[in-house]
Amino acid sequence: MESYLQSLDDGWSIYLWLVVGGMIIIAVIYWIRWGMMNEQFDEDIKYLVFDEGDRDKMSPEEYAKSREVNTSQMLSRERVLKRQEKEKHQNQ
pLDDT tens per residue, range 57-86? 888 898 888 889 889 888 988 998 998 899
29 and 54 belong to one structural domain: no
54 and 68 belong to one structural domain: yes
Model-level pTM?
Answer: 0.55
What pLDDT is stored for residue 30 in this prediction?
97
Residue-wise pLDDT tens digits, 12-59: 888 889 999 999 999 999 999 998 887 788 777 777 777 788 888 888
DSSP annotation of 79 reads H
* Domain carrying residue 58: 42-92
4 and 14 belong to one structural domain: yes
Q: How far is CA 9 from CA 13, 15, 16, 18, 43, in A?
A: 9, 12, 13, 17, 51
Please say whether the dihedral angle defined by the alpha carbons of residues 32, 34, 37 and 41, taken in this order, is positive or negative. Answer: negative
23 and 57 belong to one structural domain: no
9 and 46 belong to one structural domain: no
56 and 90 belong to one structural domain: yes
Report which of 90, 85, 44, 86 is spatially closest to residue 66, judged by C-alpha positions: 44
52 and 82 belong to one structural domain: yes
Are 78 and 86 in contact by the 8 Å Cβ rule? The answer is no
34 and 11 belong to one structural domain: yes
What pLDDT is stored for residue 33 in this prediction?
93
